[in-house]
């Protein structure tokens, strides 16, 4: 157990209410770490950031879990002139809905990721080259167990909450299932207890785009190289599933890039939405590893609480946390109904659970976008007093 002071972010307030300057840190677990698959890694590293201070009771921590293409950098900036803060900077900070004056916020790049944590792009010490697809298969459970080791290392004795959207929501739920006494609140958004066939199908097309790219080379490629074309295609397609028809129509409609009569006969970019998608693909390949994309989408597809525990009721039986599940009306990747089912199963299992459905037209990514309605819900859920479970049995 490490003194929490050691992990205090190097922070200076850039502006009132901002987390400010943060430095990512690395937690190296000596291991060995046994994956759900049975494969073993001698040890692993998680890159993480923390904001706020762990209290004396060491129980004010909030674990933020990121989605497929997210990372540990969810708030603050890495340099004073850093123009792009962390991905959930609107939500997290002093006085914000996730108030870093009250809470000790932890966010780690997932196991299998490519932003500092151990994953297929990490160097295998035995070969001196990236693991590639010889890296052990990763499940959501493996991600959660690795994060628990990080929290132990940070000295957190209980989680005030776990919080995440999409794949982050899966991790948040699994925390409450696997570490019930440790996890007091779960806030899961735009998530699912198991993906539909359509969601698996989209992930599979992305994987095929990567694996059929000759530069994939069975996962064996140098760092920064690899199937850039396939990864860009996968990202372009996936991006469509993160937004909605309505939001794309509002943002781009049928507006054209060409200024003439708008009828240029070419396969170059014509519609603004095409240029936008190509940009999404191109920026993604500079920050993400194709093998990590394969691993993490597989983890998403494999996640199935009912299958893993026998039933949703059995999965949720041990949960002690209070939970809030949030669905978004325009989310067609993990639709409201799949979120509602989670809350319903928790209620049936006798747990304190709520479901809130927010009307948005921004699609799956609604959970990432600033929203007074959502942020008020999150603050209310995180700051209400915790009602410990009372045992009515004699």
Buried residues in 286-307 as b, exposed as e (16+ CB within 10 A)? eebbbbbbbbbbbbbbbbebee
Calpha distance 135→138 (Å, rounded) = 9
248 is a site residue for a copy of itself (CB under 8 A): yes
Shortest separation between residue 254's beta carbon and a copy of itself, angstroms: 6
| CA dihedral angle for residue 296, residue 294, residue 91, residue 372, rounded to 10 degrees | -100
C-alpha to C-alpha distances, 231 to 217, 301, 348, nearest whole angstrom: 13, 18, 41
> CB-wise, 74 or 144, nearer to a copy of itself?
144
166 is catalytic: yes
Work out which of 281, 323, 353, 355 binds a copy of itself, going by CB under 8 A. Answer: 281
Q: List, in sequence order, every residue forming a beta bridge with 327; answer none if it has no partner.
A: 357
323 is catalytic: no
Shortest separation between residue 170's beta carbon and a copy of itself, angstroms: 15
Q: Out of 364, 365, 366, 371, which one is annotated catalytic? A: 364
Strands lying side by side in the sheet with 61-65: 25-29, 44-51, 104-108, 61-65, 159-165, 185-189, 322-328, 353-358
262 is a site residue for a copy of itself (CB under 8 A): yes
- Interaction residues for a copy of itself, span 311-340 (CB under 8 A): 332, 335
x-marked contacts with a copy of itself along 134-173 as a string, rule CB under 8 A: ---x------------------------------------
251 is a site residue for a copy of itself (CB under 8 A): yes
Q: Out of 11, 166, 247, 323, which one is annotated catalytic? A: 166
Q: Please give the structure tokens belonging to residue 100.
A: 């870093």
> CB-wise, 22 or 210, nearer to a copy of itself?
210
Shortest separation between residue 358's beta carbon and a copy of itself, angstroms: 21
240 is a site residue for a copy of itself (CB under 8 A): yes
Shortest separation between residue 23's beta carbon and a copy of itself, angstroms: 35
- Contact 153/1 with Cβ under 8 angstroms? yes
Shortest separation between residue 69's beta carbon and a copy of itself, angstroms: 16
> CB-wise, 252 or 375, nearer to a copy of itself?
252
- Interaction residues for a copy of itself, span 188-207 (CB under 8 A): 194-198, 200-202, 204-205, 207
131 is a site residue for a copy of itself (CB under 8 A): no
Work out which of 92, 163, 229, 342 binds a copy of itself, going by CB under 8 A. Answer: 229
Q: What is the DSSP letter of 110?
A: P
289 is catalytic: no
- Contact 366/356 with Cβ under 8 angstroms? no
Contacts of 368 (CB under 8 A, 6+ apart): 67, 87, 88, 165
Work out which of 19, 189, 193, 236 binds a copy of itself, going by CB under 8 A. Answer: 236
Q: Please give the structure tokens belonging to residue 247.
A: 């939001």
Shortest separation between residue 43's beta carbon and a copy of itself, angstroms: 20
277 is a site residue for a copy of itself (CB under 8 A): yes
Calpha distance 263→244 (Å, rounded) = 26
Q: List, in sequence order, every residue forming a beta bridge with 271; answer none if it has no partner.
A: 256
Q: Please give the structure tokens belonging to residue 316.
A: 């949720």
Q: List, in sequence order, every residue forming a beta bridge with 44; answer none if it has no partner.
A: 29
- Long-range contacts of the stretch 347-354 (C-beta < 8 A, 24+): 348/313, 349/312, 349/313, 349/316, 349/317, 349/319, 351/316, 351/319, 351/321, 351/322, 351/323, 352/322, 352/323, 352/387, 353/322, 353/323, 353/324, 353/325, 354/323, 354/324, 354/325, 354/381
Work out which of 170, 211, 300, 324 binds a copy of itself, going by CB under 8 A. Answer: 211
- Interaction residues for a copy of itself, span 30-49 (CB under 8 A): 36-37, 39
Q: Which residues here bind a copy of itself, judged by CB under 8 A?
A: 36-37, 39, 133, 137, 194-198, 200-202, 204-205, 207-209, 211-214, 229, 232-233, 236-237, 240, 244-245, 248-249, 251-254, 262-263, 265-267, 270-271, 273-274, 277-278, 281, 294, 298, 301-302, 304, 307, 332, 335
- Hey, which residues are catalytic here? 166, 331, 364
């Amino acid at each position: 157990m490490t003194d929490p002071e050691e992990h205090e972010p190097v922070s200076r307030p850039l502006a009132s209410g901002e987390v400010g300057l943060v430095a990512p840190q690395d937690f190296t677990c000596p291991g060995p770490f046994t994956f759900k698959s049975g494969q073993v890694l001698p040890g692993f590293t998680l890159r993480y950031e923390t904001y706020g201070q762990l209290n004396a009771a060491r129980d004010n921590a909030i674990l933020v879990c990121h989605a497929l293409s997210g990372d540990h950098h969810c708030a603050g900036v890495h340099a004073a002139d850093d123009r792009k803060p962390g991905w959930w900077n609107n939500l997290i900070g002093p006085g914000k809905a996730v108030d870093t004056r009250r809470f000790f916020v932890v966010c780690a790049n997932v196991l299998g990721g490519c932003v500092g944590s151990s994953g297929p792009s990490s160097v295998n010490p035995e070969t001196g080259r990236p693991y590639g697809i010889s890296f052990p298969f990763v499940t959501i459970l493996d991600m959660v167990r690795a994060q628990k080791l990080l929290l132990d290392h940070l000295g957190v004795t209980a989680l005030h909450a776990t919080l995440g959207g999409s794949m982050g929501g899966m991790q948040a739920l699994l925390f409450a299932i696997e570490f019930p006494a440790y996890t007091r609140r779960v806030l899961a958004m735009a998530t699912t207890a198991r993906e539909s066939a359509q969601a698996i199908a989209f992930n599979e097309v992305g994987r095929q785009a990567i694996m059929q790219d000759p530069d994939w080379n069975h996962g064996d490629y140098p760092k920064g190289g690899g199937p850039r074309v396939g990864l860009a295609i996968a990202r372009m397609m996936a991006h469509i599933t993160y937004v909605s028809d309505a939001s794309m129509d509002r943002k781009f409609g049928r507006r054209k890039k060409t200024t003439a009569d708008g009828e240029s006969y070419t396969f170059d970019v014509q519609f603004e939405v095409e240029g936008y998608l190509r940009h999404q693909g191109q920026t993604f390949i500079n920050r993400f590893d194709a093998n990590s994309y394969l691993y993490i989408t597989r983890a998403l597809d494999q996640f199935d609480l009912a299958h893993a525990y026998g039933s949703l009721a059995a999965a949720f039986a041990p949960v002690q946390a209070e939970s809030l599940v949030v669905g978004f009306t325009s989310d067609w990747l993990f639709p409201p109904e799949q979120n509602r089912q989670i809350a319903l199963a928790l209620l049936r299992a006798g747990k304190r659970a709520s479901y809130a459905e927010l009307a948005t037209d921004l699609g799956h990514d609604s959970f990432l976008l600033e929203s007074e309605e959502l942020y008020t819900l999150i603050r209310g859920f995180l700051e209400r007093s915790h009602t410990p479970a009372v045992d009515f049995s004699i």
